[in-house]
Structure 1
Amino acid sequence: MHAIEISHPGGPDVLRLTQRPVPQPGPGEVLIKVAASGVNRPDVFQRMGKYDPPPGASDLPGLEVGGELIDGDFSGYNPFGLKPGDFVCVLLTGGGYAQYAVAPLAQCLPLPEGLNPLEAASLPENYFTVWTNVFDRGRLGLNEDGLPESLLVQGGSSGIGVTAIQLAHALGHRVFATAGSDDKCRACESLGAEAINYRTEDFVERIKTLTDRCGVDVILDMVAGDYIPREMDALADNGRLVLIATLGGAKTTIDVHKLMQRRISITGSTLRPRSVAYKAAIAANLYEHVWPLFAEKRLHPVIHEIFPAHEAPRAHALMESSAHIGKILLRW
Structure 2
Amino acid sequence: MKAIAIAAYGGPEVLHLVERDRPVPGAGEVLIRVAASGINRPDVSQREGNYPPPPGISDLPGLEIAGEIVGGDLSHSSNAWGLKAGDEVCALVAGGGYAEYCVAPLAQCLPVPHGLSYVEAAALPEAFFTVWSNVFDRARLGRNEDGELETLLVHGGGSGIGVAAIQIASALGHRVFATAGSEEKCRAAERLGAARGINYRSEDFVAVVKDMTGGRGVDVVLDIVGGDYIPRDIDCLAFDGRLALVAVLGGTETHVDLLKVLMRRLTVSGSTLRARSVKFKQGIARQLEERVWPLLAGGQIRPAIYATFAPTEGPEAHRLMESNRHIGKIVIDWGRPH
Deviation at 1:43, TM superposition (A): 0.0
SS at match of 2:292: helix
Aligned twin of 1:67 = 67
Aligned twin of 1:157 = 158
Q: Is residue 206 of structure 2 the alignment partner of residue 215 of structure 1?
A: no
Aligned twin of 1:292 = 294
The whole-number CA distance in structure 2 between the counterparts of 1:73 and 1:217 is 42
Aligned twin of 1:199 = 201
Q: Is residue 30 of structure 2 the alignment partner of residue 13 of structure 1?
A: no
Aligned twin of 2:92 = 91
Deviation at 1:309, TM superposition (A): 1.1
Deviation at 1:41, TM superposition (A): 0.3
Q: Is residue 65 of structure 2 the alignment partner of residue 27 of structure 1?
A: no
The whole-number CA distance in structure 1 between the counterparts of 2:272 and 2:101 is 25
The whole-number CA distance in structure 2 between the counterparts of 1:70 and 1:140 is 38
The whole-number CA distance in structure 2 between the counterparts of 1:303 and 1:325 is 8
Deviation at 1:295, TM superposition (A): 1.9
The whole-number CA distance in structure 2 between the counterparts of 1:68 and 1:192 is 32
The whole-number CA distance in structure 2 between the counterparts of 1:118 and 1:11 is 25
CA deviation map 1:104-125 (0-9, x unaligned): 1111000111112221011000
SS at match of 1:225: coil
The whole-number CA distance in structure 2 between the counterparts of 1:185 and 1:258 is 29
- Aligned ranges 1:106-185 → 2 under 5 Å: 106-185=107-186
Q: Is residue 83 of structure 2 the alignment partner of residue 82 of structure 1?
A: yes
What amino acid is aligned across from residue 190 of structure 1 in structure 2? R
The whole-number CA distance in structure 1 between the counterparts of 2:11 and 2:35 is 25
The whole-number CA distance in structure 1 between the counterparts of 2:290 and 2:264 is 35
Deviation at 1:165, TM superposition (A): 0.2
Deviation at 1:251, TM superposition (A): 1.1
CA deviation map 1:304-325 (0-9, x unaligned): 0010011010000000000000
Aligned twin of 1:311 = 313
What amino acid is aligned across from residue 37 of structure 2 in structure 1? S
The whole-number CA distance in structure 2 between the counterparts of 1:215 and 1:130 is 21
SS at match of 1:98: coil
Sequence identity percentage: 62
Unaligned runs of 5+ in 2: none
The whole-number CA distance in structure 1 between the counterparts of 2:212 and 2:74 is 51
User: After TM superposition, where is structure 1 displaced by more than 2 Å over at least 4 residues in a row?
Assistant: none
The whole-number CA distance in structure 1 between the counterparts of 2:251 and 2:297 is 39
What amino acid is aligned across from residue 32 of structure 2 in structure 1? I
Relative to the length of structure 1, the TM-score reads: 0.99
SS at match of 1:103: strand
What amino acid is aligned across from residue 52 of structure 1 in structure 2? P
Unaligned runs of 5+ in 1: none
CA deviation map 1:208-230 (0-9, x unaligned): 11111100000000000111001
Deviation at 1:80, TM superposition (A): 0.5
What amino acid is aligned across from residue 265 of structure 1 in structure 2? T
The whole-number CA distance in structure 2 between the counterparts of 1:132 and 1:36 is 24
The whole-number CA distance in structure 1 between the counterparts of 2:263 and 2:49 is 40
Deviation at 1:207, TM superposition (A): 0.6
CA deviation map 1:52-110 (0-9, x unaligned): 11111110000000000001011112101000000100000000000000011111000
CA deviation map 1:251-272 (0-9, x unaligned): 1111111110010110011000
CA deviation map 1:137-180 (0-9, x unaligned): 01000011100000000001110111000100000000000000
Aligned twin of 2:51 = 51
The whole-number CA distance in structure 2 between the counterparts of 1:230 and 1:124 is 30
Relative to the length of structure 2, the TM-score reads: 0.98
RMSD across aligned positions (CA)? 0.6
Count of residues in Structure 1 that have an aligned counterpart in Structure 2: 332
The whole-number CA distance in structure 2 between the counterparts of 1:115 and 1:168 is 20
